Amino acid sequence: MVNGDKDVEILIDRSSQIPIYRQIVARIEEMILGGRLPEGFKLPPERRLAASLEVNRSTVLAAYRELKGLGLIDSHVGRGTLVRAAHPATDHQPSAGDAPGRTQISWRQILGDYQPRIPDPLIRDLLSLAERPDVISLAAGLPASELMPLETIRGLLDTLLTRVGPAVLQHSPTEGLTRLREAISRWLVSRGIPCRSDEVLVLSGSQQGLDLIASELIRAGDEVVVEEPSYIGALPVLTASGARLISVPVDGEGMRTDMLAAILDRRRPRLIYTLPTFQNPSGAVMSLERRQHLLELAARHQVPVLEDDPYSELRYGGARVPSLRALDSTGVVLYLGTFSKIICPGLRIGYMVAPRPVLQQLVLAKQASDLHTNTLGQHLVERFITEGHLEPHLTGLRTAYSAKRDAMARALATAADVLRWQAPEGGFYFWCRMTRRIELSRLLGHAADAGVAFLPGASCFAAEPAESYVRLSFSFPTETQIAEGVGRFVEAVRCTAEDPRALYPEAAGTPPLV
Amino acid sequence: MTEPTFKLARRMSRLRASEIREILKVTARPEVISFAGGLPAPELFPVEELIEVSTAVLRQQGGSALQYSTSEGDPRLRAAIADHMRHCLGATVQPDDILITSGSQQGLDLTGKLLLDEGDEVLCESPTYLGAIQAFNAYLPSYIDVPTDDDGMDLDALDTCLARARRARFIYVIPDFQNPSGRCWSLERRKGLLELARRYRVPVIEDAPYSELRFHGEPIPSLRALDDGTSVVFLGTFSKILCPGLRIGWLVAPPPLLERYVLAKQGADLHTSTVSQAQLAAYLDRYDLEQRLENVRETYRHRRDVMVRALEAELPAGAHITRPDGGLFLWLELPDRIDSRSILERCLKANVAAVPGGSFFPNGGHENTMRLCFASMPPERIIEGVRRLARVLREAMDGRPNPAARCHRPNRSDQAERLGD
């Protein structure tokens, strides 16, 4: 066989269950892979092959399309359909970076669709600024190191290793230790959140819950509702899974559920992600009315709600509002909790509460992700709760963080000309709006000179916000450092505001990217 | 509370409850002698040493030992792992080339996340590690299982597979004392694999959880040691050589890829437990890991000997085993007509457990095989367990051919369907 002018011999079994086009694919594939149809061999035109096989032309078209999909043939205008070269490697042109005579793996070509967002260089600069020893960091939401229950943990660790022994170092169930799941469910119930222990999945930090939900629930192109602003660590996980984010603004009463209602009338998002209590970064608490509205909308439109709740136990004033999980009667809420802010983050213990069928699926996903959460850490948290250390510890934390919050409020009181803010009733953050929109890179320069780090608000938005915000965290620094750090920061803002190059023209808006 | 009002994405349906999961539930009963799980022996865990280092770490580092830490991992631990890789695995890597993972399972998951899209192809040994299949399955690849013998993959077959593959993303291998077969690749095959990987520009994922557990003979260099640092991602773990409960593994990748791994890790769980990392770094600083490994190897070598001798004495004709030089597992092959799933059912009635081998073949088939872990049980339990297993096998193999076994054999239409996928 030299050319497609001759007919390719294909035997078709019309009595077979296998569709005819698949039989054609299989025969041609066999001939190509077996070397009987060499590279560049011209296959007969569709019409001719169809006639000779006495099949419909669309059948041959379907077969050729599939063979192209398999990479075995190519169509060339004017030349017809030809058998492709044996392997794409032979097509590869060495790039300029390749060392001569050596083949290099091109990782760039190999990487899949999942593309974690490379942090904005400005954010990187800010994070490295926060590492400088002379810099006071108001940037990261770290719990205070001096408030960690170090002695209790040391005692528990010693007891566990001595008394329980090797079992605390062995593999443990993917769902989490039964004792810990029971302790978590008892504790949640005592806080008014209904929960059975078999609805609890122990996580390697609540970030893992976001990751599992993102990779198991969301397919590329799905829409996800997020708050605006939202948690900086959640947005990249959601977008890396291919989600398109729909932002719903947050005001003093939490997510604007009236706007959510309008969105749900027109679109079908896969998930609503919310931090209803002491939201990160805005500090907002969703009102009871909004919570009920949100749940009603979610149930009516059949959209699951992921309630991320790391801060609700850190309340320094005002009345407690029930969690979404506590108000949910339809099983639409997935509840995400963590011990990172209330015991310590270094153990990496979080949890998810979800209806059984969802939980069972997430357990399998977790098993594939990391088998299980570290066993010793789980034992520690279980003992911490069961021996009654958590409640007194929380009381201590509320007192200490409340004093830090007050220190930051006092320090910020003198900055009304440049910053607008409301003291949060709980959580770790002040969310400050700049009275004038200023350019972040200039502010960063002045802040670096002054020796203070902060989180630029824009990193908490899915799209560029219309106004300039900053998030200032009071949890990690001491009260003295808070006073000094805020002083430096306000100074940096004033310097930037006086720098005419740093101001955006008031009404011009963002110039188009060209 | 009512049923959830929503459905999970399609990829979840691929994640079926693994056979091992179900078996392990049964084998938790104390009367069952289990060769099923891959649990390291708890009596070898360094409990005393960890008590000491834990106290020291919390005293010296205070609150920072309990604080958030970087996604890359504790610098002291990364330096200690670089040392370990030089001494124990013959590979020269820099601490900056290393990412600490929450067990090597996370390394597998991140690999799938970064490198696989739906319909991509993974080349793997036949059989291969079930946990890897589960990790990759979440990203919906298809598998090309390359024929493998006692020296590793058949390189001619690998060459053919690579030439035919249209979307090969990586070659996944466990060169040392493989899970499940216990096989160890020869040096020639390792070199040949790397040559093919470079020629076809397809990277290699080297999973090495058992490399330190060689009972005799000279160590064979890891693929990472033989590579020029560009085509191999290496996955290591402390789960088998110290203890699994700390969940500490590591990953070595070429720099442009490592940066991506770090970002993916950050999204997955921010970082691995600060406490576990500090404990392990302090342990490696104060104690001689090599000395400890001697003890672990000696214990497992003895248990392997006991199991191999017992099997040789008890197994009916027609059953074949591997005799691995290291690791935790050996592989049992039964006559074609025997279905190891039904064998397992009978075994569980006789209070002994192993894993049916079919689960380790991503494209199915090979239902006449079983994986046995020789490391978890003390010698007298191994002898008794083998006796129970052999009794079940003798009954099954003396009996008439089991027609059910036929149903699981791959047939032509199965294969055609896979090609078309």
Q: Band of the pLDDT at A121, cuts 50, 70, 90?
A: low
Residue A87, SS3 per DSSP = coil
A387 CA: distance to closest CA in chain B (Å): 20
Structure tokens at B121: 């192809």
Percentage of chain A exceeding pLDDT 90: 61
CB A331 within 8 A of CB B67: no
- Domains, chain A, ranges and CATH? 2-88 (1.10.10.10), 122-146+392-502 (3.90.1150.10), 150-388 (3.40.640.10)
CB A442 within 8 A of CB A484: no
What is the reported pLDDT for A101?
40
Q: Band of the pLDDT at A513, cuts 50, 70, 90?
A: very low
| Mean pLDDT calculated for residue range A191-218 | 95
* More confident call, B170 vs A85: B170
- Residues B135-155: tens digit of each pLDDT: 999 899 999 999 999 999 999
| B141 near A CB under 8 A | no
Structure tokens at B209: 């959880």
Query: What letters, b where the CB count within 10 A reaches 16 and e where it falls short, cover B72-95?
Result: bbbebbbbbbbebbeebbebebeb
pLDDT exceeds 90 at position A507: no
| B407 near A CB under 8 A | no
Q: Band of the pLDDT at B20, cuts 50, 70, 90?
A: low
pLDDT exceeds 90 at position A136: yes
- Scanning every residue of chain A, which has its alpha carbon at the shortest distance from the alpha carbon of B198? A103
Q: Which of A284, A308, A306 is nearest to A422 (CA)?
A: A284
What is the reported pLDDT for B287?
96
CB A481 within 8 A of CB A254: no
Q: Which residues pair with B292 in a beta bridge?
A: none
CB neighbours of A128 closer than 8 A, spacing ≥ 6? none
pLDDT exceeds 90 at position A445: no
What is the reported pLDDT for A152?
96
Structure tokens at A444: 């960063």
Alpha helix (H) ranges present in B315-369?
Answer: 340-349
| Mean pLDDT calculated for residue range B7-14 | 42
- Residues B47-92: tens digit of each pLDDT: 999 999 999 999 999 999 999 998 999 999 999 999 999 998 889 9
Candidates B25, B235, B247: best to mutate against A (most CBs of A within 10 A) is: B247
A52 CA: distance to closest CA in chain B (Å): 24
Q: Band of the pLDDT at A512, cuts 50, 70, 90?
A: very low
Q: Band of the pLDDT at B6, cuts 50, 70, 90?
A: very low
What is the reported pLDDT for A127?
65
What is the reported pLDDT for A70?
66
pLDDT exceeds 60 at position A506: no
What is the reported pLDDT for A2?
39
What is the reported pLDDT for A108?
64
What is the reported pLDDT for B413?
34
pLDDT exceeds 70 at position A117: no
pLDDT, averaged across chain A:
87
Q: Which residues pair with B170 in a beta bridge?
A: B122
B33 CA: distance to closest CA in chain A (Å): 18
Say yes or no for a CB contact (<8 Å) between B200 and A165.
Answer: no
Candidates A107, A207, A325: best to mutate against B (most CBs of B within 10 A) is: A107
- Residues B320-358: tens digit of each pLDDT: 999 999 999 999 999 999 999 999 999 999 999 999 999
* More confident call, A450 vs B11: A450
Q: If contacts are CB pairs under 8 Å, which of residues 102-121 in chain B contact chain A? A: 102-103, 105-106, 109, 113-117, 120
Query: Which range among A293-307, A493-507, B20-34 shows the weakest confidence by mean pLDDT?
Result: A493-507
Query: What letters, b where the CB count within 10 A reaches 16 and e where it falls short, cover A305-335?
Result: bbbbbbbbbbbbeeeebbbbbbbbebbbbbb
Q: If contacts are CB pairs under 8 Å, which of residues 325-344 in chain B contact chain A? A: none
* More confident call, A99 vs A416: A416
Residue B117, SS3 per DSSP = coil
* More confident call, B398 vs A449: A449
What is the reported pLDDT for B12?
38
State how beta strands A223-228 and A244-251 pair.
parallel
pLDDT exceeds 50 at position A139: yes
Say yes or no for a CB contact (<8 Å) between B197 and A105.
Answer: yes
What is the reported pLDDT for B410?
35
Nearest CB to A331 within list B3, B37, B246: B3
What is the reported pLDDT for B340?
93
Q: What is the pTM of this model?
A: 0.83
| B179 near A CB under 8 A | no
State how beta strands A419-420 and A350-353 pair.
unpaired
Percentage of chain B exceeding pLDDT 90: 79
Q: What is the CA radius of gyration of chain B?
A: 22
Q: Which residues pair with B172 in a beta bridge?
A: B124, B205
Say yes or no for a CB contact (<8 Å) between B47 and A70.
Answer: no
pLDDT, averaged across chain B:
88
Percentage of chain A exceeding pLDDT 70: 88
pLDDT exceeds 70 at position A502: no
| B25 near A CB under 8 A | no
pLDDT exceeds 50 at position A436: yes
Torsion A211-A217-A220-A225 (CA) sign: negative
- Residues B232-274: tens digit of each pLDDT: 999 999 999 999 999 999 999 998 899 899 999 999 999 999 9
| Mean pLDDT calculated for residue range B3-30 | 55
Nearest CB to B15 within list A71, A218, A368: A368
What is the reported pLDDT for B229?
87
Q: Which residues pair with A353 in a beta bridge?
A: A200, A335
Read off the amino acid at residue A330. T
**CA B69 and chain centroid, separation:** 28
What is the reported pLDDT for A323?
98
* More confident call, A283 vs B402: A283
Q: What is the H or E stretch that residue A432 is in?
A: strand A429-434
Torsion A11-A13-A19-A23 (CA) sign: negative
pLDDT exceeds 80 at position B406: no
Q: Which of B97, B106, B109 is nearest to B252 (CA)?
A: B97
CB B130 within 8 A of CB B360: yes
| Mean pLDDT calculated for residue range B87-106 | 95
Nearest CB to B4 within list A102, A103, A357: A357
- Scanning every residue of chain A, which has its alpha carbon at the shortest distance from the alpha carbon of B257? A107
